[in-house]
Structure 1
């Protein structure tokens, strides 16, 4: 599909590390799978960070440690080092990459991906979440499809619905449509207004479509996308959602260990051998017996830790006095007194 001159100009002039200014303040703990590394990224499938490709360019600082802003403390640090980045190269204008982490972070909420092709519906509202230049403070803003730019297979073009603008530090931030990630933020540009449009300079943003890169995501990840921890009170049940990011259809092979058991009737992943298609979301409902630590094993070294660190209270036993301990002590003192008396007599 041919791009308009304005589309090409915007895609060319996009700043390489842009994000949100004057946006809505958000709690990072409500979005624990969002991370910061001078850009914004989203943890998927336990150990991958979905972000913009230019975030690992030397001009952007290269691959750097990932800051788990809203996640639970991972050991003694909120920082995890990435092992490598994998860049999507199939498109012409797409700017999207995956960073593989050296270990799996701890987070109880995740954002799922949508592989649906987003139509150019001017009434659709998208929400972007990013850290901008704050490193610790998450912001959001609402955007709508730009009505001056043509539809594009690789990119989505937006205009802000509020006074929020793009600033340095939030490339790679997710655009959510109906609660799922539909695109990854690339950048923004200020250019001359489109023909026939009067007023201030034109401010637009672009994002890489998940739908265009969906096969590459599946080939790179080929695993479950899931929260890595969950909490279930004793005697209570909890439903956990997971998404298949496998290259092809899979059949459930999960197993519970420890203090939990499946509620099979209310677990859509356990569906009598039916296949779960790529990007499908299904559920496991588990019940905790005592509220102790357990594991929901998804297979291939992917697991959800339930009630991490919780177990029965152990009361240390009261130490028993050693047999003959008191008499032994008295005998020791008597022996010492006897030696002193003998020494005195000899001296006399």
Structure 2
């Protein structure tokens, strides 16, 4: 980060004794210093129904047909010449034949219109349309305290890291102000995104580094993933440019994109190098989106950053602590 200055190893962080010219003392101390976290904290130009269906069964009308009962036929009388049936054999029971109907029973008379109710010929009504699904309720945003509990714990870091507060001294001029603004928005400034919530923490192994910072933000909707995509697109084209401070100090900053990190829903990382007259500061910055949350992890040292494998391992641990970062 270009906002932090590492104390010079020659002075051990001590200022000149009284009597020296203040401007001269400040300038010489700054040029002899190694501005370590200055890269990191300046580095930011940007924070985890269905509807019921209607009943589709059309109601069917049951129709019953009714008719007047046909009159009982008159029994046919046997003629005088009809043969007398043979007597049954003894011991054999023979049922007596009933009357024989020689003509069809007459149906009801009239003009052909049935006397009972006629079946309905109208088609069944269409099923009611399904009700629209209810709109999903927006997720309840977490509080800053809840995000704070999701930050990396100190006992989960490499040995020697302790919590600290990093000072902020961003440059006032840059050859690529758009790149500096994007880096500052990611690492240095508090988010101004509507509805976003943020928490952050920083650690150091000594006054001269290495330094570690984690920024954790919750965004509504899909804004967390969009932040990663926007930063990757803008920072990939930054290259090398100059930085200047009000006291006349200058440096050259280089952003080297490293592509996706394979962490969370989407991720991207880069190396950011700041070369001062007296020292070089190198940082690995990792961006990770996990559902509604954005992790910005900055790990830097002088003259080289800690190993990239260690930094990516910390980013994976940070992503694993966000199981309920809902959108």
**Which range, TM-score by smaller chain?**
under 0.3
Higher percent of residues as helix: 2
TM-score (norm 1): 0.17
The structure number with the bigger radius of gyration is 2
Higher percent of residues as strand: 1
TM-score (norm 2): 0.18
